[in-house]
């Protein structure tokens, strides 16, 4: 994301907990801020993306946090997938500083980003959304305004639950075909060229043949999103039966020691239950 902003001609000051991981961006022209506060101090628009609600609180609060660096006229955009209620509370704190906030989580992955297909869903004031739209479109081509503070977070959670559910359904069909006598590679080819192949399934489906060395989105991260979805379902009286079942399968994967694997490892967990050897994870 930073690389795309730099390539679009924007001046970017960045912070990361481990500075060495940002060295390639510093080499590409990014400036360095020693703390989140330092970044917010110099930036007109500050963006953050972290793992969960607790991490968001860690980078925004305290004397070195983003909130401490905000002032009147500045804009803060968080792109994390976190609790909608946490976003609304944070927005109140941002506005108390005279600044404005948007929640703008993304749909996609590093693969989608590299392909130039990342999309945003954005919550907050529409006029602030219109103001920052050029920055968002420098990162990904599609940004959709969905409503007030926290609604983009709600939309992201509603989107993400389908990713894990789809992966589990893909695994079920694949194992059914394989145990009936069809070669796994052949079944994968057929499924990825069928009507059930969503964009996510098309790029993650091949992982059942060869898992990536580094997870794009691991089991723990996906389960965090499903737990957020289940909590929303309880609050809003929306039954989420397939989400609940998929969440239990993620727990099974964790119990098998697969928590750090991409959530496509759902196939491995289900295969073990079906008595199928994959040879992928020992």
Burial class (CB in 10 A: 0-12, 13-18, 19+), 275: exposed
Question: Which helix (H) or strand (E) element contains residue 32?
Answer: strand 31-32
Q: Which of 74, 156, 224, 261 is catalytic?
A: 156
CA distance 91 to 260: 32
Alpha carbon dihedral 89, 95, 99, 103, in 10-degree steps, equals 30
Helix (H, G, I), strand (E, B) or coil at 218: strand
Tell me the Ramachandran region of residue 116: left when phi exceeds 0, alpha when psi lies from -120 to 50, beta otherwise: left
Residues 6+ apart with CB under 8 A from 185: 209
CA distance 222 to 41: 33
156 catalytic per annotation: yes
In the block, residue with structure tokens 């727990």: 251
The DSSP symbol for 48 reads: E
Catalytic residues: 156
């Amino acid at each position: 994301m930073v690389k795309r902003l730099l390539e679009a001609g924007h001046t970017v000051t960045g912070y990361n907990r481990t500075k060495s991981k940002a060295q390639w961006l510093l080499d590409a022209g990014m400036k360095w801020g020693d703390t989140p506060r330092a970044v917010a101090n110099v930036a007109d628009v500050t963006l953050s993306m972290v793992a969960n609600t607790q991490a968001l609180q860690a980078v925004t609060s305290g004397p070195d946090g983003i909130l401490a660096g905000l002032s009147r006229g500045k804009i803060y955009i968080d792109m994390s997938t976190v609790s909608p209620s946490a976003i609304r509370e944070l927005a109140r704190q941002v506005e108390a500083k005279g600044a404005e906030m948007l929640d703008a989580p993304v749909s996609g992955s590093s693969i989608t980003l590299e392909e130039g297909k990342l999309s945003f869903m954005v919550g907050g004031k529409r006029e602030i959304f219109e103001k920052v739209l050029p920055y968002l479109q420098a990162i990904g081509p599609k940004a959709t305004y969905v409503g007030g503070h926290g609604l983009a977070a709600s939309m992201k959670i509603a989107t993400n639950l389908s990713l894990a559910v789809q992966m589990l359904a893909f695994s079920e069909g694949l194992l059914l075909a394989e145990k009936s006598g069809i070669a796994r590679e052949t079944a994968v080819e057929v499924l990825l060229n069928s009507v059930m192949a969503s964009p996510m399934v098309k790029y993650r489906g091949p992982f059942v043949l060869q898992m990536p060395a580094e997870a794009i989105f691991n089991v723990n991260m996906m389960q965090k999103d499903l737990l957020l979805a289940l909590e929303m379902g309880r609050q809003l009286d929306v039954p989420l039966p397939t989400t609940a079942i998929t969440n239990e399968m993620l727990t099974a994967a964790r119990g098998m020691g697969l928590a750090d694997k991409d959530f496509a490892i759902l196939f491995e967990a289900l295969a073990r239950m079906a008595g199928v050897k994959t040879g992928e994870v020992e």
